[in-house]
Structure 1
Amino acid sequence: MYDAFPKHLQEDWCGLNLVAPITHPVPVGAVVPKFYGYYVPVREDNEKRDEQIALQNFKRSPGYKAWDRLSPILLLQECGSPITPGNFSADERSECYSLALRLHHAEFTQNSFYTRNILKQAGPLTVEPSKRSMSTPSFRIIDFGRGEFWPYKLEAAKEENVDRRRRRTTKHSMAVPTEEQMKLRVAQGEREDTADKEALERCGKAWWELRDYEVRKAHSELQIQDFMY
């Protein structure tokens, strides 16, 4: 997911921006942590054999502890601590709310929009650390394990259509079809086209419902009243 984020969601900017449906300007910072890479450990052959032996011994004897095995590392920017909206000003609520909206404008959903997944640290990050302050905080949305990206979701729906057609396709003989057989094939093709269209429409509807739910969730988590925007 992180490698799909465009740069403008990970970079810090100066100034303000209008993010619909918010009717007043909000700060333009990064939305998500900077992504530094996903690192997978690579071992020499003898180390692999040592690990296999350790695992075998561990399985044979619960008292035997296999030596620590390295795990892949998702390296991200440190972004602070979870927010406490009860202590927020209206501007801070607006800024956090705008992060969710900017994700949606970029065709992403986070799908776990809780305060524990919104971090706050002294800012702005565009200045040196000694000049940063919690009076000008920096916010980030984290944890995209359940996140979705619309182009990926749409492509998956199209692939499902292709698979469905493949499963339903009837093998025809090499003989020249009769007029009645041609009519049946045309009718089948039209039904498949209709099914494809309906499947994509359901996918699109589900996507917009998901975005609407996340907006309502943001209102709830950030303690935003409807009349505020």
Structure 2
Amino acid sequence: MHTPTPAEAVVPQFYGYDVPTLEEEEIDDRPLGLDRNGQISGKGSIKKKYLSPMLLLEDCGNPIDIDKLSGDKKSEVFSLFLRLHTAVWLHKSTFPRNVVVREPDPSLQPLPPPSSRRAN
């Protein structure tokens, strides 16, 4: 690739992984038998509630719309995928719904150019 490499983040910031614990179990007092799913239920059976583990990641924006991307943006997305794979990471699902972009916030004022930020 002969174009400049974008310097944006390729993966979201990782904040943690949590496996919630549930201390109570539900005891079923109905007559013993099978429920609709073929699971044992009824007298003496214990149903354990399941809580999903959570992966806490930075919100990185909305899924891209390939049809609305300019040629430069498509090239930038391709370049970011190359960076990811060069670092020996495997994405495994490059569908557009799994590639997100954060649009700039129009309420934020841009920083002045570096030459005008010099200390006096």
Name the structure 1 match of 2:66. Answer: 85
TM-score by length of 2: 0.65
Distance 1:103 1:40 in 2: 28
Q: 1:129 to 1:34 in 2, by over 3 A?
A: farther
What does 1:165-180 correspond to in 2, within 5 Å?
none
1:119 Cα deviation after fit: 0.8
1:109 Cα deviation after fit: 1.5
Q: Does residue 29 of the first structure (1) align with residue 3 of the second (2)?
A: no
1:97 Cα deviation after fit: 0.6
Question: Structure 1, residues 82-105: CA drift from partner, whole Å, max 9, x if none?
Answer: 111111112211111111100111
Could you tell me whether the CA contact under 8 Å between 1:26 and 1:94 is conserved in 2? no
What does 1:36-51 correspond to in 2, within 5 Å?
36-43=15-22, 47=23, 50-51=24-25
What does 1:1-229 correspond to in 2, within 5 Å?
22-43=1-22, 47=23, 50-51=24-25, 53=27, 59-60=40-41, 69-123=50-104, 130-131=107-108
Amino acid aligned to 1:39: D
Could you tell me whether the CA contact under 8 Å between 1:33 and 1:79 is conserved in 2? yes
**Number of equivalences:** 98
Distance 2:107 2:16 in 1: 28
Question: Structure 1, residues 161-187: CA drift from partner, whole Å, max 9, x if none?
Answer: xxxxxxxxxxxxxxxxxxxxxxxxxxx
Could you tell me whether the CA contact under 8 Å between 1:39 and 1:72 is conserved in 2? yes
Moved >6 Å (runs of 4+):
none
Amino acid aligned to 1:51: E
Question: Structure 1, residues 65-114: CA drift from partner, whole Å, max 9, x if none?
Answer: x6964221111111222111111112211111111100111011212211
Question: Structure 1, residues 41-83: CA drift from partner, whole Å, max 9, x if none?
Answer: 134xxx2xx32536x998425xxxx696422111111122211
Distance 1:129 1:70 in 2: 39
1:26 Cα deviation after fit: 3.4
Identity %: 42
* 1:122 match: secondary structure: coil
* 1:100 match: secondary structure: helix
Larger relative strand fraction:
2
Distance 2:54 2:92 in 1: 23
Structure with more contact order per residue of length (Cα contacts < 8 Å, sep ≥ 6): 2
Could you tell me whether the CA contact under 8 Å between 2:25 and 2:49 is conserved in 1? no
Distance 1:26 1:32 in 2: 15
